[in-house]
Amino acid sequence: MILRLQRDWAVLTVATVLLMFLDPRGAYAQEHVVPLSQLQKDMRSAVDARAKNVTDIQRVLSLPAAQEALEKSRVNQDQMRKAVAQLSDEELSRLADRARASEQDVEGGLIVGILALIGLIVVIIIVVALVKS
């Protein structure tokens, strides 16, 4: 009697599990909370923003004042590119904002802009040092 009851429960359990996994409603693709086109659009805008930030930083680092500060710090362009490429999106955005502000100040002839640019280079040098270690 007990064996028969255990066997019946085992068969019932197996049947229930099979029905749960073989339910055809779960096999159909369901609509995501966010449409795929929106995800692709968001991804593209993030990639574009990162590329713009990297370009802006590299443009500022090519200024004569920045080149001079890099030479004094014994940091070459390859080290800078590697360090910038390894920054997170948030860090890269903050650094690009500082670079743009420094560039405007340097173009305006303000000594503060040059000092800010040198500070920016020091931050990048620290990142390079951390990347090397």
Look up the domain containing 73 and give its range. 35-132
pTM, whole model, 2 decimals?
Answer: 0.60
In the chain, how many domains are there? Answer: 1
**pLDDT number for residue 98:** 84
27 in a structural domain: no
87 in a structural domain: yes
Euclidean distance between CA atoms 133 and 13, whole angstroms: 57
83 in a structural domain: yes
22 in a structural domain: no
Q: Residue for token digits 């966010």?
A: 34
Over its length of 133 residues, how does the chain's per-residue pLDDT go in tens digits? 666 777 777 877 877 777 666 765 554 555 557 788 888 999 999 999 999 999 988 888 887 777 777 777 777 777 777 778 888 888 889 888 888 887 776 666 655 666 666 777 777 777 777 776 6
28 in a structural domain: no
Residues in the chain, how many? 133
88 in a structural domain: yes
**pLDDT number for residue 27:** 47
